[in-house]
Structure 1
Amino acid sequence: MKDVLLIALFAALGAGGAGLLGWAAIRLLRRRSVALSLFTVAVVTVLAVTSGTFAVAQAMFLSTHDFGVVVTVLGMAAVVSLLTAALLGRQVVAGSRALAVAARTVGSDAGFTAPDQPLGTELAALSEELAATSARLAESRAREQALERSRRELIAWISHDLRTPLAGLRAMAEALEDGVADEPERYLVRIRTEVERLTGMVDDLFELSRIQAGALSLSVARVSVYDLVDDALAGAYPLARRRGVRLEGREVAAEPVEVDSREITRVLGNLLVNAIRATPEEGVVAVAARREADEVVLSVTDGCGGIPEQDLPRVFETGWRGGAARTPRRDPGEGGDSGDSGGGLGLAIVRGIVEAHAGRAGVRNVDGGCCFEIALPAPRTASHA
C-alpha cells in the first residue's frame, strides 16, 4: 500500500508540473485558433503522462532496458495522440470556416445556405440558429416591402382622391365668383357634399394614424352584439335604400362582448358601407353573429361577385382598392365614386380597431360574393349560447 502511495505521489508531482505549464499556455492562447488550443491540450496531456511516468520510473530504479521500453511506448502514444489532436483541430477549423462563409448569406435574397460538409453538434446548432435568423430577416423584409408598397399606393390614391374634388371645388367656386352659375344653390350643395367627403377622408387618415401609432384609446364595456349590429344596420339603412340593396340581420345571436361599442360600430359600419357599394341593385347584404369557442364572430356577406384569390391577403392593407369586382357604383347623392371616404382606408381601419381589441379580421369568398369576418374575444364569464 505504501508503494502505491509513493507512486501516486511521484506521478502527481510530475503531471502537476506539466499541468501548470499547460494552464499558462492555454491562458496565453485563449484568443487564438481553436485548433491550436486543442493541440495544446493534447500536448499538455502527453507531457503530464510522460512526466508522471518518468518520475515513477526514476523512483523505481528501472533497468536501462525497461526504461527504454517505457520511453518507446510513451513516444508512440504521444505521436498518435498529437496527430489525432491535429486532425481534430483541422476538422473543427474547417467547419468553423465553412460556417463563417455560410453566415455571409444570412439576410440575402436567396436565404441562408448551410455548409455542405458535416458539422459537430455545436456548430450544427449554430447553423440552425443562423437559418432561423435568416428566415426572420426575410419575413421582416417582406413585411417592410409590403408596408412600403401600401404607403406608395396610399399616397397615390389619396393624391387622386384629393385632386378630383379639389379641382371640382375650384371650378364651382370660380363659376360662382364670376356669376356664370345657372343654379347657384345646386353648386353650393355640391360644394358642401365635396367638403364633407374631404372631411371624412381627413378623419379616416387621423384615425388610421392613431391606430398605427398605438394611440387608440378604448372605452371598454360589456354590450350585446345584437345591439351593435342593430346600431350599424340603422346607420347603413339610408345608403342601402338609395342603392336598392336589402339588409338582413336575422342570424345574430345575442352574445355579450367587452368592447368599445363606438369603435366596433364604426367597424361594422365600414364593412356595411363597402358591402352595400359593391353589391348590385336588388342584392342582399347579410349580417350575422355567432359564438365559436372563445370568440364571438361577426360577419358581413355581400354580393360583389368575389375577390381574386391572389388579392385576398391584401384586402386589409392600407391603400388597397381591389379590382373591378368591388368597384363601387356612383351614387348621385354622394360626394364621389370612392368605395370609402379615402384611399382604401376603411378596411385598414377595420383591422386596426379589431386588433386593438385583441381580435382578428379576415375575408373569404362565398357563393356570389365575399364574407368579411371579425372575431372578438368572448368574456370569460359568458356562458355559451
Structure 2
Amino acid sequence: MTDLLLIALYALAAGAAVGGAGAVALRLLRRRSVAVHVCVLLAVTVVAVVAGVVTVAWAMFLSPHDLQVVLLTVAAAAVVSLGVGAVFGRRLAAAAMWAAEGRATERRLEAGRRDLVAWVSHDLRTPLAGLRAMAEALEDDVVRDPQTVADYHRRMRIETDRMSRLVDDLFELSRINAGALRLAVSTVPLGDVVSAAVATTAPLAAGRGVRVLAPESGWPVVAGSEPELTRVVANLLVNAVRYTPADGTVQIAAGVDHDDAWLAVSDSCGGIPEADLPRVFDVAFRGERARTPQRAGAPGGGLGLAIVRGLVEAHGGRVHAQNTHGGCRFVVRLPAAPG
C-alpha cells in the first residue's frame, strides 16, 4: 500500500509540474487561435502522462531495457494522440471561424432587413399621405379647376404606379432571397433582351432628355431566362437614366470573353464615391442622394440593383460596378450559350 501511495504521489507531482507549465503556456498564447489552444492542451496531457510514466519507472528502479520499452510505447501513443489532436484542432478552428462568419452575416442581413423595412415604410408613407390629401381635396370639392383636377389625377396615377413598382420589387427580391426563383433556361440572344429593355425605359429616358445608345448588331447569345434577363437590363438602364443629367447619354455594349458573355451599361452620372462602390448592390442602398423621391423618375426604393445582383447570380453569373471618366459602368457577365 505504501509503494502504491508513493507511486501515486510521484505521478501527481510530475503531472502537476507539467500542468503548471501548460497553464503558463496557455496564458501566453491566449490571443492565438482555437487550434493552437487545442494542440497545447493535448500536448500538456500527453507530456503529463509521459512525465508520470518516466517518474514512476524511475522510482520503481526498472531495468534499462524495461524502461526503454515503456518509453517507446508511451512515445508511440503520444505521436498518435498529437496527430489526432492537430487534425481535431484544425477542424474545430474552421468550425469556429465558419460560425463567426455566419453570425456576422446574420447580423448584416438583420441590419439590412431593418433598414429595408424602415426605408420602404418611409417610401410608402410619403406617397400615401399625398394620395390621401389629394383624394380628400377632390372629395370635398376644395379643388374644382379642371386643370388642377387633371393634375391631381395625373399625380395620383404616378404615385400609384411608383408604389406598385415598389411592391413588385419587394416580391421579386423575396423570391430571390427565399430561393423560390425558378428559371426557364433557354438560348437567349442578348440583342432581343436589350431591345425589350430599351423599349421599357424609353418613356423615362425621353422625359429626362437622356439618349440611350446601343449597337445594332454583334450581340452574343447566352444561356438564361429571357424575362429575368430583360429585367436585369431594364433595371440597369433605369438606374443609369435616373442618375444621368439631362441631355446625357447612356451606352450599352456587349461581347464575348472566353466562355462568358458580357453586357455593360455606361452612364454620365459623374461617378460613384469609391467607398460606396462595394455597396451599390446592397438592398435599399441609395448613396448620398435623397431617400424620398421628389418627382417622377427620381430614385426609387433602392431595390433595383439588389434585384439585378440576385437575378444575375441565379444565372451563375456576376455583376460589378466601376467608375469611368465622367460616369460609371455596370458590367454583367453570364455563361455564353454553347456552340
| Superposition TM-score, scaled by structure 1 size | 0.66
1:168 aligns with 2:130: yes
Point out the structure with max Rg over C-alpha: 1
Query: What pairs up with 1:1-385 in 2 under 5 angstroms?
Result: 75-79=63-67, 81-82=69-70, 120-182=82-144, 183-250=148-215, 253-324=218-289, 330-331=294-295, 334=296, 337=298, 339-340=299-300, 343-381=301-339
Deviations 1:260-319 (A, max 9, x none): 212111111111011001011121111111101111111111112222222222211111
In structure 2, what is the Cα distance between the partners aligned to 1:135 and 1:369? 39
Q: When the two structures are aligned, how many residues end up with a matched partner?
A: 288
In structure 1, what is the Cα distance between the partners aligned to 2:68 and 2:334? 70
> How far 1:80 moved relative to its partner?
5.1
> How far 1:327 moved relative to its partner?
8.0
Identity score, percent: 48
> Does structure 2 conserve the Cα–Cα contact (< 8 Å) formed by 1:244 and 1:281?
yes
Please state whether the residue corresponding to 1:148 is helix, strand or coil.
helix
In structure 2, what is the Cα distance between the partners aligned to 1:270 and 1:169? 26
Please state whether the residue corresponding to 1:309 is helix, strand or coil.
coil
Cα 1:37–1:202 shift into 2, 3 Å: same
Q: Give 2:215's aligned amino acid.
A: R
In structure 2, what is the Cα distance between the partners aligned to 1:328 and 1:293? 43
Q: Give 1:142's aligned amino acid.
A: A
Deviations 1:8-32 (A, max 9, x none): xxxxxxxxxxxxxxxxxxxxxxxxx
Deviations 1:232-256 (A, max 9, x none): 1222122112111111113862211
In structure 2, what is the Cα distance between the partners aligned to 1:327 and 1:303? 21
In structure 1, what is the Cα distance between the partners aligned to 2:291 and 2:137? 31
Structure 2: state its 5+ residue gaps. Answer: 1-43
| Superposition TM-score, scaled by structure 2 size | 0.75
Structure 1: state its 5+ residue gaps. Answer: 1-32, 47-71, 97-119
In structure 2, what is the Cα distance between the partners aligned to 1:253 and 1:366? 23
Deviations 1:102-136 (A, max 9, x none): xxxxxxxxxxxxxxxxxx44333333333333332
CA RMSD, 1 decimal: 3.4
In structure 2, what is the Cα distance between the partners aligned to 1:266 and 1:75? 85
> Does structure 2 conserve the Cα–Cα contact (< 8 Å) formed by 1:250 and 1:287?
yes
